[in-house]
Structure 1
Amino acid sequence: MPAYKDTERGTWYCQFYYVDWTGKRKKKKKRGFPRKKDAEAYEEEFLKKGSRTCSMTFGSMVELYMDDMRPRLRATTMRSKEYLINLKILPYFQGLQVNDITPAHVRKWQSELLSKDYSPTYVKTIYNQLSAIFNYAVRYYGLRENPARVAGSIGKKKAQEMNFWTVEQFSKFIECVPKFPARVGFSVLFWTGLRIGELLALTLEDIDLEAGTLTVNKSFQTIDGKEIITEPKTPKANRTVQLPRKLCDMIRQYEDALYEPQPDDRLFPFTKYYFHHQMNQGCKASGVERIRLHDLRHSHASLLINNGAPVLSVSERLGHEDIETTLRTYGHLYPSTTDGVVKKLDDLMP
C-alpha cells in the first residue's frame, strides 16, 4: 500500500487498483494529502469500503448507506436524514470500525441523548436512524448483529401529552425567576417558540432590535462533555423570527447591561442546567406547575393556534421541516371545522 510524493505540490498521493461492484478492475488516484500516512489511510479505507465487510469505519458505512438511499427518497426527506445523522450520530461513532461497535457503545450514546431536553418522539426518530444504518450493514455488508437492537429502543413512537402554560401562568412564573438573564431567556422561549439549543447559540449579531427580528442559524449542543455550536436541527430551522415590541425592549435592556459585548458573543453564555435551575426556583416561588423547557415551545405554538394563526404561519415560525410535522404535533389543538363544512354543503344543495 505505497504512497507517493507529489514534488510539484509538496503533498502526497495514492494510486491503486480496485474491483468495482460490476466486477471491473479500475484504477484510483487521489491527490492532496499533507502526510504520507494520510494517503495510505485513504487507500486502506477505500478498499475496506469496497470489500463488502464491516472492517470499515462507521463514517464510511454511512457514506455507502446515504449513496444507496439518495435515489430512493425525496430530496426533503434525504436532507432531513443527513442533518440528523451528521448532528446526532456521526459525532459519536464516525471513527469507530463498524465491527467494533458494541451494544455498550450504543447504550452510552443513548444515555447522552436522554440527558438532553429532547422530546420522546425525537429521541425515537434518532434511535431509529442509527438502527437503520446498522440494519443496512447487517443485510448488505455481513455485520453479525445490529448493536442498536441489542441495546434496546429508546423514546416513544407517539408523543406524550403536552404541557402548556397560558400567558397568565407564564406571567406569574416569570415574576418569580431570580436572575434577570434567565427571565429574558425564558421570555424569548415563550414568545418566539425557539428551541433551547437555538436560544443558547444566539449571538448579538443575530438580533436586530430596530427591525424587531431574531435570526436562527445555529444551535448549541453538549457532546461528550464539550460545548459546541452546530447546524440547526433541520434545514427549515434556519429562519428569521419577528419579535413582539415589548420583548425587544426587554432584550435591549439586557444587552445594555452586558460588559463590552462583541457581535459574535453568545447572548446567553449559559448551559441548559442554568435554565433548569432557574425554572425550578421560579416554579417553586410562584406555585406554577413545572413544565419542561421544551414545553415553552409548545406553549408558544398553543398561543398562536388559540389566537387564530394559520398552520403555515405556525410551521414557519417554529422552523418545522414541513406542515405535516406541525399538524402531526399540534393538529389536535386546531378546532374542528366539520360542522361548518357540512352546513355549507347543506346550503348549496338544491
Structure 2
Amino acid sequence: MASFKQETNKKWSVQFYYKDFTGKTQRKHKYGFNTKKDAKLWAEEFIRREEGNINMNFESLYEEYISDISQDLRESSLKVKKNIVEMYILRYFRGIKLSKIDSRFIMKWQVEIKKRRLSDSYLSTINSQLSAIFNYACRVYNLPNNPCKMAGTMGRKRKGNIGIWSQEDMDAFLEAVSDKTEIRYAFFLMYWTGIRVGELLALTVSDLDFDKGTLSITKSLNRTGGRDIITPPKTEAGIRTIHLPEFVLAEMKEYCDKLYGRTESNRLFTVTKSHLEKEIKRGAGIAGLKRIRVHDLRHSHVSILISRGVNIGVIAKRLGHESIRTTLNTYAHIFDEDAKKVAEILDNGYTGGNE
C-alpha cells in the first residue's frame, strides 16, 4: 500500500514497498510530483516495471532496455540508437501498454513512418531498433511474442549497391591525392587492409610491426560531443592482427620515415573522418572515378580477396567480424558474382573420367 504526502513546497511525495528482481522487499520514496494523481500513477508504473508486468508502458520498457545495454555500447553507438528511438518511435508508443501493442499497431506505425520518405535502408534500421526493444521484452519480461516479427519488415537493408573501386581505380585515385602525403597513405592502408575508418584513426606508430609484417588493431577512435574518444573495437573479434603484404610494408615504412618527431605512442594519422570524406570526393573528381564513401574502401578490399579465392573464414577474421555469417550476409552479392565462374572452372577441369 502506497502512502502519499503533500510537502511544505506543495509538491507531493509517495512512499511504498516493492519486491526487486531477487524477491527482496525494498522501500521506495519519491518526491516532486505536482499532484497526488501523478504520484500514484508513477508508483503504479514503477511497480509494474519492477515486477516485469507486461502492462507497463512502452517508455518504461525502453528505459530498462537502454539502462541494460548502455554498458556494452560505445557512447557514439548509444547516442545514435537513442536519437532514432526518440525521433521515430517514442512519440508514437509513449503511454501505450505493452499488452496493447500488437502487429496491427506496429503496421499502423510503419505506415506513418513511411510517409516521411526516408531511404529504404534507414527505414530498415528504424524497424530493427524497435524490434530489438521487443526482443528484450520477450527475453527479460516474458512478452509472449515480438509484434514486429509478426508485422513484417519495413524498408530493406542496403545490399548489392556497395561502392567498390578496382585496383586500377585505386591507383588512379592515389595519384590524384598524392599532393597530400598523409591523405594518400591513409587511403592506401585502408584499401589494402580493409580496416574501418575509426580503427585507422586510432592507430599509433607502434601498431605497425615491420619485423613481423603485421598491423595490430586494438582500438577505435570515435568523435562524440565534439571530442575524440578512444575505445576498444565493438567486439572481441575486432581485436586482431592483420598480416601485411611486402608492398604495403614498404609503403608504410616509407611513410613512417617521413614522420619526424612522432614517437611510437603518437597517432599514425592525425586527420579526421570528415576530412577523409572530403578528400575521397576530391580525389574521385580529379581521377574521373565514380564516387564512393570512405567505408567503401573496406568493401573494395573484400572484393579483391574474394576475387582471388581467399577463404571466407580468413576474410571474416581479417575484417574483425564475429562470425562468417556476418561476412556472408554483407557481401552475398559479391559471392554471387564470383559463383558464376564456378561452372567455367568445373568445365575447364572436367576430364570425363579419362586420364
TM-score bracket relative to the smaller structure: 0.5 to 0.7
Describe the SS at the equivalent of 1:269: coil
The residue type equivalent to 2:335 in the other structure is: G
Q: Is 1:327 aligned to 2:334, yes or no?
A: no
Q: Is 1:159 aligned to 2:159, yes or no?
A: yes
Shift of 1:272: 1.4
The residue type equivalent to 2:77 in the other structure is: K
Alignment of 1:32-47 (within 5 A): none
* CA distance 1:307–1:61, change in 2 (3 Å): closer
Q: Is 1:290 aligned to 2:279, yes or no?
A: no
For residues 195-237 of structure 1, what are the alpha-carbon distances to aligned partners after superposition, in whole Å with 9 as ceiling and x for unaligned? Answer: 1121112122222122111111222222344332233233322
2:247 equivalent in structure 1: 246
* CA distance 1:265–1:46, change in 2 (3 Å): farther
Q: Is 1:169 aligned to 2:169, yes or no?
A: yes
For the 8 Å contact 1:206–1:214, the answer to whether it is kept is yes
1:262 equivalent in structure 2: 263
2:78 equivalent in structure 1: 89
Alignment of 1:1-350 (within 5 A): 18-20=18-20, 26-27=24-25, 49-50=49-50, 52=53, 53=56, 58=62, 60-62=64-66, 88-89=77-78, 93=82, 101-102=90-91, 127-135=126-134, 156-177=156-177, 178-328=179-329, 329=331, 330-335=334-339, 336-337=341-342, 347=353
Shift of 1:341: 6.8
Taking only the aligned residue pairs, the percentage that are identical comes to 30
* CA distance 1:120–1:203, change in 2 (3 Å): farther
For the 8 Å contact 1:83–1:234, the answer to whether it is kept is no
2-side partners of 1:162 and 1:236: how far apart? Answer: 23
Larger Rg: 2
Shift of 1:267: 1.5
2-side partners of 1:92 and 1:181: how far apart? Answer: 33
For the 8 Å contact 1:283–1:290, the answer to whether it is kept is yes
1-side partners of 2:268 and 2:23: how far apart? Answer: 56
For the 8 Å contact 2:195–2:319, the answer to whether it is kept is yes
2-side partners of 1:225 and 1:249: how far apart? Answer: 35
* CA distance 1:259–1:101, change in 2 (3 Å): farther
Instruction: Please report the RMSD computed on the Cα atoms of aligned residues, expressed in angstroms.
Output: 4.5
Shift of 1:48: 8.0
2:40 equivalent in structure 1: none
2-side partners of 1:255 and 1:225: how far apart? Answer: 29
2:31 equivalent in structure 1: none
TM-score (norm 2): 0.62
Shift of 1:136: 5.6
Segments of structure 2 that go 5 or more residues without pairing to the other structure are 1-15, 28-42, 95-118, 148-152
2-side partners of 1:268 and 1:127: how far apart? Answer: 34
For the 8 Å contact 1:19–1:25, the answer to whether it is kept is yes
Shift of 1:185: 0.6
Shift of 1:325: 2.2
Describe the SS at the equivalent of 2:241: strand
2-side partners of 1:346 and 1:46: how far apart? Answer: 74
Report which stretch shifted further, 278-287 or 127-136. 127-136
* CA distance 1:341–1:215, change in 2 (3 Å): same
For the 8 Å contact 2:237–2:320, the answer to whether it is kept is yes
For residues 156-196 of structure 1, what are the alpha-carbon distances to aligned partners after superposition, in whole Å with 9 as ceiling and x for unaligned? Answer: 32414233222111111101103110110111111111111
* CA distance 1:138–1:320, change in 2 (3 Å): closer
* CA distance 1:131–1:92, change in 2 (3 Å): closer
2-side partners of 1:267 and 1:320: how far apart? Answer: 24
The residue type equivalent to 2:206 in the other structure is: E
Report which stretch shifted further, 287-296 or 227-236. 227-236
Query: Number of paired residues?
Result: 279
* CA distance 1:260–1:125, change in 2 (3 Å): farther
Shift of 1:299: 1.3
* CA distance 1:290–1:157, change in 2 (3 Å): closer
* CA distance 1:311–1:48, change in 2 (3 Å): same
1-side partners of 2:265 and 2:18: how far apart? Answer: 48
For residues 303-336 of structure 1, what are the alpha-carbon distances to aligned partners after superposition, in whole Å with 9 as ceiling and x for unaligned? Answer: 1122221222222212222222222314224335
* CA distance 1:135–1:181, change in 2 (3 Å): same
